[in-house]
Amino acid sequence: MKRKTVKKRLRKCLQCRHLRFRKSFIWKQCRKCGCLVELKARLPSASCPKGKW
């Protein structure tokens, strides 16, 4: 997957109200689907459960 696409997806995740981020936790997690957004954003077949990407 292209870096540009991954960055675009992550930008949308970072603006989402369903994102959970704790300073003590390395990964950011989606509260809607439970995914680790940095990993899921890199999967070509993956999609956002809210339809944002």
What confidence tens digit (pLDDT) does each residue in 8-53 have? Answer: 999 999 999 999 987 777 889 999 999 999 999 999 999 999 999 9
Cβ atoms of 12 and 52 within 8 Å: the answer is: yes
Residue type at 34? G
Cβ atoms of 10 and 41 within 8 Å: the answer is: yes
pLDDT score of 11? 96
Beta bridge partners of 30: 19
Distance CA 41, CA 1 (A): 9
Mapped onto helix, strand or coil, the DSSP state of residue 18 is coil
pLDDT score of 5? 97
pLDDT score of 27? 86
